[in-house]
Structure 1
Amino acid sequence: MPVDARVVVIPQEAGAGPEVLDVALPEPSGHEVVVKQYASGICHSQLHAIHNPRAAPQVLGHESTGEVVAVGPDVTGLAPGDTVMVTWVPKDQASARRRGGPLRLELGDGRTATSINVFTWATHTIADEMFVVKVPEGIDVEATCIIGCAVITGAGAVLHTAGVKAADSVAVFGVGGVGLAAVAAARLVGADPIIAVDLAEEKLAFAKRFGATHGVNASDCDPVEAIRALTTDEQRFDILRQPLRGVDFAFDCIGHQSTMEQIHQATRSGEFGQSRGGTAVLVGVPQRSLELDTLHLFIGERAFISSLGGSCEPAVDFPRFLQWHADGDLDLDALVTQQYAIDDIGQAVDDLENGRIAGRSILVFD
């Protein structure tokens, strides 16, 4: 039978802010699952969806915790009563290779809202089972809701996309929710140094709680030169016989044109004849194209790569990150710095857009 839900909708009209509507979710069919949600993360990337042109109303949000209330006839491995996490990344290889499709939600007033895959800014959601991961009962259902995007994106970029190892040097540009997860993962694998780069001293101090060994305030100095100064190696040399300077891995968790350029410049050259150079990893969603200094890339044997969803497999990685939280290795309670009710979504979006969120903000549903 249909399930009544309250859902955040972004109208089609340009410049229109979020509205909260009462919507009847249909009975699930096929591989669909209906989830009563406990909490949902508020991701910075959703601001792009709000501000960019759209062909129809949109429903947003892509990380949450909840409880299954109904399943379609083709669903396997999930049942009503299961504690689950909803994410935007297919949970396993088999799911990823099954063709899904854009989600369409009838709003009841003649309009149809769309989403690429899921929506979690809602008291209840309906999603393909490929995006719903069963997790143990009794988890902290509020703080862990950010695992489905913030944690997999930041920590996964370190663990999977880059493959950071003990003693590797790391710089993380932008230490919001995603960047802090990257910092925490770098600490857990034994990276050193771990250099946090941001524009506010309070955010840099906060990053040290998660494992940053140094903070660079990009509003006060050239962050590339600061990173090079912190990482000069007088025992190894590039092709010009100059000491190596720069990090093994630089992560851009923002996606601005300036930070994309800076992570490229902040990576070290290869040790000529002995090792390849450092790797710049684009994690934040870019909004503009980038022109790289290809000579810098070539002569130092550097690499510039991207990470989408931290290259994660949620069915495998969610248990790992839940265990990190349970063991105190990933303090999600500290990472979640602000909570909102669904009716306060307008304020939540404004706070996020204007830099008033130190870590990650979430919606908590009754």
Structure 2
Amino acid sequence: MPTDARVVVVPETTGDPLRVEAVRIPDPGPYQVVVKQYASGVCHSQLHQIHRPRTSPVILGHESTGVVVARGREVTHVKEGDDVMVTWVPRDGEHASRRPDGVDLQLADGSIAKTTSSFTWADVTVADEQYVVRTPGSHKKDVTAVIGCAVMTGAGAVYYTAGVQKGQSVAVFGVGGVGLSAIAAAKVVDADPVIAVDLDDEKLAFAMKFGATHGVNASRVDPIAAIRELTRKTDGAGAPIFGADFAFDCIGVRKTMEQILPAARNGVLGSRTGGTAVLVGVPTTPVELDARDLLINEKKYLGSIGGSCRPDRDFAMFLRWYAEGDLDLDALVTRRFKIDEINEAVHALESGQITGRAILEF
């Protein structure tokens, strides 16, 4: 039977406050799962969606923890009562035989609210089974909600997209929830040095708790020069080497997207190729890259979406990192809000008041 739920609705008119509405979640379709949620992350990328023009109401959120209350007849990997995470990356796209479906939800006034792949700003959600990942029931259900986006995106970019190895140098531009997850992964693989770049001394100090070895305040110094100085050395033939082996942009603004390429290590002709710049943050503008630097130093500029992760494979690994103390999710989650406080949560995120990651608790 349908399930009562309270969901956050982003109105059709841009700029209007978000509202919480009571709705009825329909019985799941053949490939759908209904999840009663414990907690959901509040992701910075959703600010872009809130401010983007639209032609209908939308429902947001894409990382959460919860318990299955109903499943469709074709769903076999979870059952009622299972603890799960809801995410926005297909859990096993490599072996999928069908494209996952999105969900549109009818509101009380009869209008249709659109979603992207999943929605988690709700105490109950319904999602295609490809966005629902079974987890062991022994983990905490609040802070682990951020694994489905922040951790996957940041840590996965280091671990999978870049494939950082022990002893390689890493610079991370932007140390919010995604950047801190990237730093934690760099620590797990024994990268050195691990350089955090931000505009706020408090956030840089916070990044040290997750594994950063150095902090660079880009409001006071040139971060490219600082990174080059921290990584400067010579090779066996005496040629100068400077810059990070991997430079990650976890923000997505034009300035940082353009800074990570010159911050990456230079190449030495006939000896070694240059470093790699990795774009992790959601871009909002075009960029201009120095093609000469890219060519002469044989550098790479990569994109990383969802940390190149496969949730069925990787969420268990991130939970293990948490259990073993390598990923401090208790520290990463710095603010908690109730569903009726969603406008306060969005304002806090937009105004830079969230040091790590915020969550909604249901």
Unpaired runs of 5+ residues, structure 2, are none
Aligned-partner Cα distance in 2 for 1:331–1:158: 17
How far off is 1:77 after superposition?
Answer: 1.4
2:289 to 292, 309, 315: 292
Number of the residue aligned with 2:190? 190
Number of the residue aligned with 1:8? 8
Number of the residue aligned with 1:161? 161
Deviations 1:16-47, CA, capped at 9 Å, x for gaps:
22110001000001101000000000000000
Number of the residue aligned with 2:221? 221
How far off is 1:176 after superposition?
Answer: 0.4
Give the conservation status (yes or no) of the 8 Å contact 1:142–1:364.
Answer: yes
Give the conservation status (yes or no) of the 8 Å contact 1:236–1:244.
Answer: no
Number of the residue aligned with 1:249? 246
- Secondary structure of 2:23 counterpart: strand
Deviations 1:142-193, CA, capped at 9 Å, x for gaps:
0100000000000000000000000110000000000000000001101000
Aligned-partner Cα distance in 2 for 1:278–1:131: 34
Give the conservation status (yes or no) of the 8 Å contact 1:339–1:361.
Answer: yes
* Number of residue pairs matched by the alignment: 362
Aligned-partner Cα distance in 2 for 1:232–1:145: 39
Aligned residue type for 1:69: V
Aligned-partner Cα distance in 2 for 1:16–1:160: 39
- Secondary structure of 1:59 counterpart: coil
Give the conservation status (yes or no) of the 8 Å contact 1:23–1:108.
Answer: yes
Is 1:339 aligned to 2:339, yes or no?
A: no
- Secondary structure of 1:133 counterpart: strand
Number of the residue aligned with 2:100? 100
Number of the residue aligned with 1:180? 180
How far off is 1:108 after superposition?
Answer: 2.2
Aligned-partner Cα distance in 1 for 2:236–2:117: 48
Q: 1:97 to 1:304 in 2, by over 3 A?
A: farther
Aligned ranges 1:112-131 → 2 under 5 Å? 112-131=112-131
Number of the residue aligned with 2:199? 199
Aligned residue type for 2:117: N
Unpaired runs of 5+ residues, structure 1, are none
Aligned residue type for 1:24: R
Provide the TM-score with structure 2 as the length reference.
Answer: 0.98
Mean alpha-carbon deviation: is it higher for 95-104 or for 283-292?
Answer: 95-104
Give the conservation status (yes or no) of the 8 Å contact 2:103–2:126.
Answer: no
Give the conservation status (yes or no) of the 8 Å contact 1:62–1:148.
Answer: yes
Is 1:141 aligned to 2:141, yes or no?
A: yes
- Secondary structure of 2:114 counterpart: strand
How far off is 1:274 after superposition?
Answer: 2.1
- Secondary structure of 1:155 counterpart: helix
Aligned-partner Cα distance in 1 for 2:39–2:269: 51
Aligned-partner Cα distance in 2 for 1:211–1:97: 40
Give the conservation status (yes or no) of the 8 Å contact 1:60–1:120.
Answer: yes
Give the conservation status (yes or no) of the 8 Å contact 2:239–2:268.
Answer: no
Aligned-partner Cα distance in 1 for 2:230–2:178: 23
- Secondary structure of 1:305 counterpart: strand
Deviations 1:60-85, CA, capped at 9 Å, x for gaps:
00000000000011111111100000
Q: 1:78 to 1:170 in 2, by over 3 A?
A: same
Identity of aligned residues (%): 58
Aligned residue type for 1:165: Q
Give the conservation status (yes or no) of the 8 Å contact 1:216–1:223.
Answer: yes
How far off is 1:106 after superposition?
Answer: 0.6
- Secondary structure of 1:255 counterpart: coil
Deviations 1:103-123, CA, capped at 9 Å, x for gaps:
211112121111111000000
How far off is 1:270 after superposition?
Answer: 1.6
Question: RMSD over aligned Cα, in angstroms?
Answer: 1.2
- Secondary structure of 1:24 counterpart: strand
Aligned-partner Cα distance in 1 for 2:164–2:215: 19
Aligned residue type for 2:204: L
Give the conservation status (yes or no) of the 8 Å contact 1:236–1:243.
Answer: no
Number of the residue aligned with 1:327? 324
Number of the residue aligned with 1:32? 32
Aligned-partner Cα distance in 1 for 2:266–2:96: 37
Give the conservation status (yes or no) of the 8 Å contact 1:236–1:271.
Answer: no
Number of the residue aligned with 2:278? 281
Aligned-partner Cα distance in 1 for 2:43–2:54: 18
Give the conservation status (yes or no) of the 8 Å contact 1:101–1:116.
Answer: no
Aligned residue type for 2:163: G
How far off is 1:96 after superposition?
Answer: 4.8
How far off is 1:271 after superposition?
Answer: 2.5
Aligned residue type for 2:15: G
Deviations 1:180-213, CA, capped at 9 Å, x for gaps:
0000000110100000000010100000000000
Mean alpha-carbon deviation: is it higher for 14-23 or for 115-124?
Answer: 14-23
Provide the TM-score with structure 1 as the length reference.
Answer: 0.97
